[in-house]
């Protein structure tokens, strides 16, 4: 019998840690692909049913006109991307979309608004949306930009379950992507959300021109937070004409799977979400991601201002893979 390499036979620990070192994360990315997937999937099975996937739906409740300069985002007012500024959607339209999402199997309804930092009068429009969606029996999540502590309290009191605020990339590479807010700005908002008792949804984007080391530092930053995000969305860059990253080099699918797997190893109890970019993924790539530990997806036809696989395609893929929707609300 062939002797197993040391990195293969080492204990597959899945204890929650918040002290990951850069060298440890780099070593995970450098594992042979099969060994990394074995490790990630073993940890995944220890914490989740590997054949269940949490379904969320994302609705863009306020598009365009954002003063930020995120290099990947077509909603920036600084870019010519044919995304026009629009006001917050009316309550009736949002509730109808939430009902449709629930009927299609979603358990969480996420609402995104293109603000840098909402004003208090902006929250006056958002709070009834949260309350209305919550009344339909769905979990609620919003992404609104940077928040003050009193604003976070208002969202909590309205019944908000999750707040999404992504770090996007590593602290070192961040300045290449955005200049209108700092990494600490994002971390401070996350801390306010956590302190208020709202669950955290926080991840990043692969394909911004970053290196493997940047992907590792993004994931290490998330894993070394005082509490792991309950939901960790891993986005594959959607290259949009008119943005600075429209011609960014595509990420090799194997490298994307490695990122999913390392996220699972570092944050064993978090839901790892296959987020933006799934329209461009083959069924085979998505299957590998599910095996590597992804267990949450955005479900529906639209993802903010970019396309998303339609529900029929999702159902067919789930049937082929023997997956089912996770109807439990207790996870992330």
Read out DSSP for 200-214? EE--EEE-SS--HHH
3-state secondary structure of 170: coil
**Among 156, 54, 147, 58, residue whose Cα is nearest residue 98:** 58
Residue 228: strand, helix, or coil: coil
The answer to whether 110 is a known catalytic residue is: yes
Q: Which of 70, 202, 215, 289 is catalytic?
A: 70
Cα separation of 69 and 59, whole Å? 22
Candidate list 108, 110, 220, 258, residue with the active-site label: 110
Choice among 108, 141, 154, 220 that is catalytic: 141
- Given the residues 258, 264, 273, 278, select the one marked as catalytic: 273
Q: Return the SS3 of 185.
A: helix
Write down the catalytic residue from 186, 192, 194, 201.
201
Q: Is 70 a catalytic residue?
A: yes
DSSP SS3 for 55:
strand
What backbone torsions phi and psi does residue 312 show, to the nearest 5 degrees?
Answer: -60, -40
Whether 201 is catalytic is: yes
**99 phi/psi in degrees, rounded to 5:** -65, -40
Task: Write down the catalytic residue from 21, 26, 45, 66.
Answer: 66
Identify whether 273 is a catalytic site residue: yes
- Residue positions counted in the chain: 332
Which residues are marked as active site?
Answer: 66, 70, 73, 110, 141, 201, 273
């Amino acid at each position: 019998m062939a002797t197993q390499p040391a990195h293969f036979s080492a204990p597959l620990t899945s204890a929650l840690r918040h002290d990951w070192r850069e060298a440890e994360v780099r070593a995970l990315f450098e594992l042979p692909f099969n060994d990394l997937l074995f490790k990630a999937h073993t940890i995944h099975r220890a914490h989740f049913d590997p054949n269940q996937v949490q379904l969320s739906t994302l609705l863009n409740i306020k598009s365009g006109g954002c003063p930020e300069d995120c290099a990947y985002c077509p909603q920036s007012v600084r870019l010519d991307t044919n995304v026009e500024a629009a006001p917050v959607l009316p309550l009736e339209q949002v509730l109808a979309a939430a009902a449709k999402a629930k009927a299609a199997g979603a358990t969480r309804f996420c609402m995104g608004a293109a603000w840098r930092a909402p004003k208090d009068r902006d929250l006056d429009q958002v709070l009834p949306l949260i309350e209305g969606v919550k009344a339909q029996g769905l979990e609620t999540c919003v992404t609104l930009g940077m928040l003050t502590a009193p604003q976070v309290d208002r969202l909590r009191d309205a019944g908000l379950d999750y707040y999404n605020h992504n770090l996007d990339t590593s602290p070192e590479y961040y300045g290449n992507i955005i200049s209108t807010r700092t990494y600490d700005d994002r971390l401070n908002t996350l801390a306010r959300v956590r302190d208020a008792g709202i669950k955290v949804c926080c991840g990043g984007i692969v394909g911004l021109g970053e290196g493997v080391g940047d992907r590792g530092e993004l994931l290490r930053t998330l894993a070394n937070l005082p509490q792991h995000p309950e939901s960790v969305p891993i986005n594959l860059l959607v290259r949009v004409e008119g943005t600075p990253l429209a011609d960014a080099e595509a990420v090799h699918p194997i490298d994307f799977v490695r990122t999913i797997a390392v996220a699972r190893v570092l944050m064993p109890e978090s839901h790892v979400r296959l987020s933006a970019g799934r329209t461009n993924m083959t069924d085979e790539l998505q299957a590998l991601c599910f095996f590597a530990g992804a267990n949450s997806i955005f479900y529906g036809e639209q993802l903010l201002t970019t396309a998303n696989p339609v529900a029929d395609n999702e159902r067919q893929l789930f049937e082929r893979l023997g997956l089912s929707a996770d109807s439990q609300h207790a996870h992330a």
